[in-house]
Structure 1
């Protein structure tokens, strides 16, 4: 019986999380010699994305908190003959973020791709956050405000190269909002709205703004939640391939196939779902 259950889980996982293939040759064809900015570059999805871009011969500007990891990635890029810059920073620090924005204005005359991948997740019910307003400040600063600040700073560089902004969002924002995620969903939804607006306004500038509504990815951030640790999910390398393929194909967004089908239905039945949420402890 246990073996049967495992097999069913494997099949279900393969259906929900189909293989995301992208050959190094195709990646190199599209990103060789391009200037790419990546946030959250030292760990998880951002690390996998940065390594793929470096292997493809892209010129990179890497942003994250871990200077040691950024230095290693930058050195690897330079060894391969590419240009590489990095900045070790906590993007929630507004003063340091402003200095970084000024540096980007001066350093990047052209930019082909901006992968905004840095993010913070937090699960806490509102009633348990009465003395934790900083939860909302920190989550909003990283998931939303840093996206806007960096995008405004690099806008001239994106104009010059008719570039792309690719934002890593969450598939959960496509569904009725679940309890416990008010800070996270508020910040991601705000970023989604900004990206959709920017895509309309930037169209005359030939700048494309894209949103990746990513499903569960096993990273150090997501696996803090014990409920997620044993669920089927993508690897950081899979998620990186999703982001790269989205940038290559120039679609407005990426959504898992099952989200395209189920999200509209979920909103139709939102009143019933909300009743269920109200019964949760």
Structure 2
């Protein structure tokens, strides 16, 4: 996919952009891409070594923290007092039979913590900042929220759908741009534990980063694969 580089530079140069889940995969490649066009980056991730590498390559301010932990979310909110763009990318995926999860309620708490509670809590702080900047949130979501619920994906689908629904409910009220990108399978470290994905076609994280970057100048409310238009899906 070709980017309109001049429009992208105009959209991000000198802008303060916070990216969660930036130590690898989509977040990392988005940070590397936007840095080339003059963005002032704040990157958040759990892996210190990888995040430090991203920060060194981009000049970003970095926060090594696990956003599943409430005290880390509160710290980030205290320290971020100016923001133009928030790219909500951090997330986890769990593929597990409900019978294998009967004694694992923490699977659901952890998944909801990062996929739902973390971005909600951050947005409660960021909304006034983004309004003041006439800025933008880009929520990195999944095409799974467009599908009917699927076996073995209860924790993941429910948590991603929860924030997707919350953000769509909030969008008409706020004074900044709200965009969501619904990605298909992307080849990142997050999908590595699911062995069935090894032979399935997947988008590269670099391609996903370009699609996210394009939203920063088109300001579209949604971006999704064209072929989703031809699928019939049912929400619960």
TM-score bracket, normalised by the shorter chain, equals over 0.9
Measured after TM superposition, the shift of residue 115 of structure 1 is 0.4
Match of 2:15 in 1: 34
2:176 paired with 1:195 = no
Measured after TM superposition, the shift of residue 74 of structure 1 is 2.4
User: Which protein, 1 or 2, shows the higher relative CO under an 8 Å CA cutoff with sep ≥ 6?
Assistant: 2
Map 1:1-281 → 2, pairs under 5 A? 20-22=1-3, 24-78=5-59, 84-104=60-80, 108-109=81-82, 111-202=83-174, 205=175, 207-262=176-231, 265-267=232-234
SS at match of 2:186: coil
Query: 2: CA distance between counterparts of 1:236 and 1:77?
Result: 17
Measured after TM superposition, the shift of residue 76 of structure 1 is 2.9
SS at match of 2:2: coil
Q: Structure 1 stretch 192-201 or stretch 69-78: which is displaced more?
A: 69-78
Query: 2: CA distance between counterparts of 1:168 and 1:159?
Result: 20
SS at match of 1:221: helix
Q: Is the 8 A contact 1:57 1:77 kept in 2?
A: no
Change (3 A) 1:237 1:23: farther
Query: 1: CA distance between counterparts of 2:129 and 2:49?
Result: 27
Q: Is the 8 A contact 1:144 1:188 kept in 2?
A: yes
Q: Is the 8 A contact 1:46 1:117 kept in 2?
A: yes
Measured after TM superposition, the shift of residue 92 of structure 1 is 0.6
Please report the TM-score for the alignment, with normalisation by the length of structure 1. Answer: 0.80
SS at match of 1:259: helix
Q: How many residues align?
A: 236
Please report the TM-score for the alignment, with normalisation by the length of structure 2. Answer: 0.94
Query: 1: CA distance between counterparts of 2:117 and 2:207?
Result: 27
Deviation per CA, 1:14-72: give whole Å up to 9, x if none: xxxxxx32255443232111110000011000000000011111001110012223233
Query: 2: CA distance between counterparts of 1:35 and 1:258?
Result: 34
SS at match of 1:224: coil
Query: 2: CA distance between counterparts of 1:243 and 1:222?
Result: 19
Query: 1: CA distance between counterparts of 2:167 and 2:57?
Result: 32
Q: Is the 8 A contact 1:211 1:253 kept in 2?
A: yes
Query: 2: CA distance between counterparts of 1:232 and 1:32?
Result: 34
Show structure 1 runs of 5+ residues with no match: 1-19, 79-83, 271-281
Show structure 2 runs of 5+ residues with no match: none
Query: 2: CA distance between counterparts of 1:220 and 1:242?
Result: 19
Q: Is the 8 A contact 1:218 1:229 kept in 2?
A: no
Query: 2: CA distance between counterparts of 1:256 and 1:227?
Result: 21
Please tell me the root mean square deviation across aligned C-alpha atoms, in Å.
Answer: 1.7
